[in-house]
Structure 1
Amino acid sequence: MEPSIFMQQFVAPCGYLSKLRVMFTHTLSISLFAFMGIFYSGHAFAAKEDKPPFYKVTWQGQHAFLLGSIHVGKADFYPLANQIEQAFEQSDVLVVEADVAKADTMSLLQQFGSADEVLLTQAQAISAEFCQQAQQLCRGLEQFAPWLQAAQISLVRFGALGYSADEGVDARFVASRQNKPLLELESVAFQFELISSFSDNTQIQMLDEAINASDDEMLALISAWRDGDEAKLAAIMEYQAGESDELISKLLWQRNHSMSTTMLTYMEQHLTQQLFFIVGAGHLVGQQNIPDLLSQKGAVVTACWRQNCQ
């Protein structure tokens, strides 16, 4: 789960709850992976050698591109590989999971960010040791639901490792899109409502993982993404979800079905324009992934690292 499935999938609000999405991770955002022995090695190679999940989608004679993202990053991620950058430059419309700029953060926090005293007490017990070393952070978070606490703690921990949400793939492409229209597959409001519906046990599990995942576990997700190792990404996602059917079903599978349908709808609505989709990489791997679902709906999906997508 944390910080991959959860970390990779969601966008936390601004300030103490700034852009987060992931969990991939689970994504997207949906992750951690010491169990696979995938340890961070510094990745001295250039960004152009990275091979994140990248697909070409053909539907009713129209072409679009689909990039799997992680929602934190470093400046040395960019530019991405030439075929990704060229496909984006040639595209007419950018489509992301959620447009953060459209969100009414304060309203969403009031509606979905709180928790009852019993759950907050459980969260305090889980975070007590961590908060001895992060008192200011914890004071700012203590009245929020555990899932929001987990989101911000994950973001802060990634920040301590040198990774920023501002350098996340989707954020970077949104900022550099120039005059390209921006569409969203979901919305921040939808994501807040979804994750706030998780059971108390699932939210406590998220918080525990956010605090106790090792640095190596956190960095393994980034390593697997940069290597383009989709099998490892899938294994990471499934391992971290553990026995939580709620996480895997709500964060990934249900959303994969709805997002794949919306992608084809957008392609039908923009027949003269090339679309460039960015979703958390966790949505592109494992069971019921978006490329497979698109194929089942009749689209031709090409893995661009295995075949020529130009």
Structure 2
Amino acid sequence: MRLTFPIGLVASILTAFSFTSKAEPLYWHLTKGERNIYVIGSVHVGTQSMYPLPHAITQALEHSDGLIVETDIRQTKGIHYPKQNVKTEEVLDSQQLKTLNKVTEQLGVNNQQYRNMSPWAAALSIQQLTMQQLGYDATQGVDSYLLSQATQQHIPVLGLESLQSQINLLTQQADQGKALLLSAITDWKKNRRVMQCLIKSWTSGDEKHLWTFAQSDPLSKSMQTELVEKRNAAWVKTLSTDDFYPKPQGTYVMVVGVLHLIGPNNVLNQLESRGFHVERLNKTTRVGCQF
């Protein structure tokens, strides 16, 4: 079976000042010497109601020397997914397969088809279908939105990592991504509510609530290390290198997943330890939803 996935979905799994009383998503202004970086935390799916973004971000992008993203998803030449040599039904136990069956019934898809997929492929497809069922779209994710704006305005795009590296990270996990699949199907109904609360927390810039979400993630410590901590460290090293920037003393906008920007060892704290001045700009409100 040949499978393809929206490239933006892969990124989703693996934000002049405008001070108002309205809550805004988390965004910051970083400076080091003459270098300016406006940073906004992203959720990788969304709706049109999330826009426009804060004026400071859109203005900075318009006059920037580049947009910094996790990966430039436009660069698809030579991209490949590995062969699916392991079937989901070979790595899940009977109870887990019953859970998968319940989820596929709710999504209106063929259960046997998903049993025959490798776990990473089944996980990506279930994530995509769940987001669609909730009314969210990967093309409305903040990173995709800003990338589209940069393309229209002919602004250079700087990727912190390659798209192939993101694909490899997701598809080369133990048991062909069994943990990813279990994360997608365990407490599936609860996960739908959690996703809606995540979007509300992002829109309100509620950092404490977003961190609560991060701590509730069922992924193992080893996967958290691979998906977040190691990537944070690699990005910080890149962002601290003058050669990364077309104009080392220029102005840039950076958009990466919001969970990379909060909590211990986040990207901003590490950059601050390397001499960047970090200023948070957004107004925030607390949200009432629960994870």
Residues 121 and 97 (structure 1), Cα distance of their counterparts in 2 relative to 1, 3 Å cut: same
Amino acid at match of 2:86: D
Aligned pair 1:256/2:245, yes or no? Answer: no
Deviation at 1:293, TM superposition (A): 0.7
| Correspondence for 2:29 | 56
The secondary structure found in structure 1 opposite 2:198 is helix
Instruction: Give 1:154's match in structure 2, choosing from 119, 127, 141.
Output: 127
TM-score of the two chains, using structure 2 as the length reference: 0.81
CA contact under 8 A between 1:72 and 1:168: conserved in structure 2?
Answer: yes
Deviation at 1:213, TM superposition (A): 3.6
Q: Percent identity?
A: 24
The secondary structure found in structure 2 opposite 1:176 is helix
Report 1:120-159 matches (<5 A). Answer: 120=90, 122=92, 124-134=97-107, 136=109, 141-159=114-132
Deviation at 1:173, TM superposition (A): 1.0
The secondary structure found in structure 2 opposite 1:224 is helix
Aligned pair 1:275/2:252, yes or no? Answer: yes
Deviation at 1:232, TM superposition (A): 1.2
Aligned pair 1:247/2:217, yes or no? Answer: no
Show structure 2 runs of 5+ residues with no match.
15-20, 284-291
Instruction: Give 1:292's match in structure 2, choosing from 240, 252, 269.
Output: 269
| Correspondence for 2:163 | 188
Show structure 1 runs of 5+ residues with no match.
1-13, 27-47
Higher CA-based Rg: 2
| Correspondence for 2:55 | 82
Aligned pair 1:165/2:135, yes or no? Answer: no
Q: Deviations over 1:110-135 (max 9, x none)?
A: x2x52424764527554122223445
The secondary structure found in structure 1 opposite 2:255 is strand
CA contact under 8 A between 1:57 and 1:300: conserved in structure 2?
Answer: yes
Query: Cα RMSD between the aligned structures?
Result: 2.8
Q: Deviations over 1:13-43 (max 9, x none)?
A: x9545521465x65xxxxxxxxxxxxxxxxx
| Correspondence for 1:92 | 65
C-alpha separation in 1, matches of 2:124 and 2:59:
33
Aligned pair 1:20/2:9, yes or no? Answer: yes
CA contact under 8 A between 2:86 and 2:117: conserved in structure 1?
Answer: no
Deviation at 1:136, TM superposition (A): 4.0
Moved more, 180-189 or 213-222: 213-222
Deviation at 1:281, TM superposition (A): 0.5
